[in-house]
Structure 1
Amino acid sequence: MAREPIYLVTEDGDHLVTEDGVPLITGYLGLDLELLLSAIVEGIGDHSDGQLVRLIAPAWWALEDLLQEDPELLFQLKDRKFEELLAGKYEAAGYRAILTPRSGDYGVDVIAESKEGPRVRIFDQAKRYSRGRLVPANDVRALMGSWAFRDATAGVVTTTSDFAPRIGEDPAIKNALSQGLRLINGPTLLQELAELRKAKG
């Protein structure tokens, strides 16, 4: 069986190269998506809720650029890679990002915590759904239970697709939306990523 390729970040943190030192990202045209996705975040330590991660800047921003050019790529991400994309989003926004274990996560896939200032602890449930498959109210309620039980300050459900019609009219969800719950669909996620890119300059 062929050995999986290894990709390294240069000392300045600005370039992704093969183990032979060949630059990997010099432009995005023709870039293999799976190859790029092999290295968008890296673990930097253990946390009681999972693994602390940080984005690998060249690869993560390259993926963000590709998603802006072709939003359909969002639907090609596998579950864990979608979670890593979200973890990188929080880390890029200045939070401490934690990927929860693949099982036993109580419906929470990514946790974002403030590094300083007022305490912020966000639970994000990632729903990588195909186009047309909508997130139902029951899935949102499941996150709300974890949110209250595990001392989060806010909850987010992020999907590649969209939410069921009138989901915000559900009494429990309507109340949670007024107290910090956010529902982020695919277009909104892409907009937030674009805003992070703009802020980065």
Structure 2
Amino acid sequence: MLAAWRFIASQYFLWLLITLFVVGTVAIIILFYTEHQNRQKLLRSGIDEVDKMNGHEFAEFLGERFKANRYKVTMPPRSGDFGADVIINQGAYRAVIQAKRSNSKVGIKAVQEVIGAVKYYGAMHGIVITNNHYTNSAEKLAASNDIEMWDRDKLVDFLAENNLNVKELPKEGDENLCPQCARLLHLKTGKHGQFWGCSSFPKCRFSKNLK
């Protein structure tokens, strides 16, 4: 009888070891797979390139990304923008975006600016987008004023799902920026053929021939 119990106990112990081994192996595989997926998402998002941008480049980048998602995009003047770096429209919907490329947490000022922009531009929605995170006071003010806050994690998800080659976007000083207002130059077609025209037309009428 004792031998039988010993046999049962040994079999149970062996089964327990096998179960723990299988569970541990599966957990390790899941952990490595999750880490791999996260790394791939970061690579797809181009967040490392975003971190190298200045504020104007980040706003232009977001504008191009929303254009790719079928929004009509307006870039207010760099000075006197009344708190909006990007304005997006889709049908009757309008939202204003405050773009904050930052090396530290974004504070309450960004939220205050976008609250003012919502009123000034008659928008339905206000969004602050950063490559970083937010202070507690900024998050509280945003929550009380129905302002949407995109932190680094949400930005990575958005960019990974809507991939755009960040490295192909023009930087400050590139020939694809208007020398008069620093907006992107778009390739257009006129009666004399293709040319580069300022994206802020008709406010800015700069153009140059296609090389």
TM-score normalised over the length of structure 1: 0.56
**Structure 2 match to 1:55:** none
Decide whether aligned partners of structure 1 residues 69 and 192 sit closer, same or farther in structure 2, where only a CA change above 3 A counts: closer
Indicate the SS of the match to 2:128.
strand
Aligned runs of 1:12-23 on 2, under 5 Å?
A: none
Indicate the SS of the match to 1:135.
coil
> Is the contact made by 1:125 and 1:157 (CA closer than 8 Å) also made in structure 2?
yes
**Structure 2 match to 1:80:** 56
More deviation, 188-197/91-100: 188-197
Give the length in aligned residue pairs: 124
Residue 138 of structure 1 deviates from its aligned partner by 2.7
Among residues 72, 90, 101, which one is paired with 1:128 in the alignment?
101
Among residues 123, 126, 133, which one is paired with 1:162 in the alignment?
133
2:43 & 2:79 partners in 1: Cα distance?
Answer: 28
Letter in 2 for 1:175: S
2:107 & 2:65 partners in 1: Cα distance?
Answer: 24
1:128 & 1:104 partners in 2: Cα distance?
Answer: 19
1:149 & 1:69 partners in 2: Cα distance?
Answer: 32
> Is the contact made by 2:59 and 2:85 (CA closer than 8 Å) also made in structure 1?
yes
1:137 and 2:108 correspond:
yes
**Structure 2 match to 1:12:** none
- Aligned identity (percent) is 26
Aligned runs of 1:44-193 on 2, under 5 Å?
A: 68=44, 71-114=47-90, 116=91, 119-130=92-103, 133-165=104-136, 167-170=138-141, 173-177=142-146, 181-193=147-159
4+ residue runs over 6 A deviation: none
TM-score normalised over the length of structure 2: 0.53
Residue 166 of structure 1 deviates from its aligned partner by 5.4
> Is the contact made by 1:78 and 1:128 (CA closer than 8 Å) also made in structure 2?
yes
> Is the contact made by 1:67 and 1:74 (CA closer than 8 Å) also made in structure 2?
no
Unaligned stretches of 5+ in structure 1?
1-64
Residue 74 of structure 1 deviates from its aligned partner by 1.8
What are the superposed Cα offsets for residues 24-64 of structure 1, whole Å, 9 maximum, x if unpaired?
xxxxxxxxxxxxxxxxxxxxxxxxxxxxxxxxxxxxxxxxx
RMSD: 2.3
2:113 & 2:86 partners in 1: Cα distance?
Answer: 15
Decide whether aligned partners of structure 1 residues 69 and 90 sit closer, same or farther in structure 2, where only a CA change above 3 A counts: closer
Indicate the SS of the match to 2:145.
helix
Residue 150 of structure 1 deviates from its aligned partner by 2.2
